[in-house]
Structure 1
């Protein structure tokens, strides 16, 4: 029996990623920047609600909703990066700096 790593098809994965990005770029073109920014805010609010519900009532239903809302926010973050011409390296640079600051805070504890 093959494990998941052995079953993983890189070409298929890349095709799915490319197609998914194409679809969300089309969505951005169709609806425009401002409506998509408003949608991003709405999705973030829904994620906040999902986190609150899962923390209060940890069950399969709220866990599944949490996952769905995370996916929605990740999609909208992708669209924000496209809209405002922000590449992953720019975002990653900020993540590295924030990780360094967090590491310093953790050392002080």
Structure 2
């Protein structure tokens, strides 16, 4: 059993709350990056913070998928459709 399986088994649906928290932390990290850019400050730390939060969000997305029994191909199919729609907008 992998670490994500163990986390889902141990914490169950509480991981949905954790996913929301990690998503909120990513929003905050992006906001801090934008503020640093706007104030012409060094963005190195802000970028590292965004990277760390992206990693946390990626981990939580995997657990949400496990909890909700979502298969990777389901997400990929929707991603393809959304990318195709974006491409059409870009070509217009």
- TM-score, normalised with respect to structure 1: 0.75
Matches within 5 A, 1:1-109: 22-33=2-13, 35-58=14-37, 59-108=43-92
Secondary structure, in 3 states, of the residue corresponding to 2:79?
A: helix
CA-to-aligned-CA distance 1:30-60 (integer Å, 9 cap, x gap): 1111x11011011000000101111221522
Mark the runs of 5 or more structure 2 residues left unpaired by the alignment: 38-42
Q: Structure 1: 5+ residue runs without aligned partners?
A: 1-18
Q: Distance in 2 between matches of 1:101 and 1:37?
A: 29
Matched residue SS, 1:57: helix
Note the aligned Cα RMSD (angstroms). Answer: 1.3
The runs of 4+ residues in structure 1 deviating greater than 4 Å are none
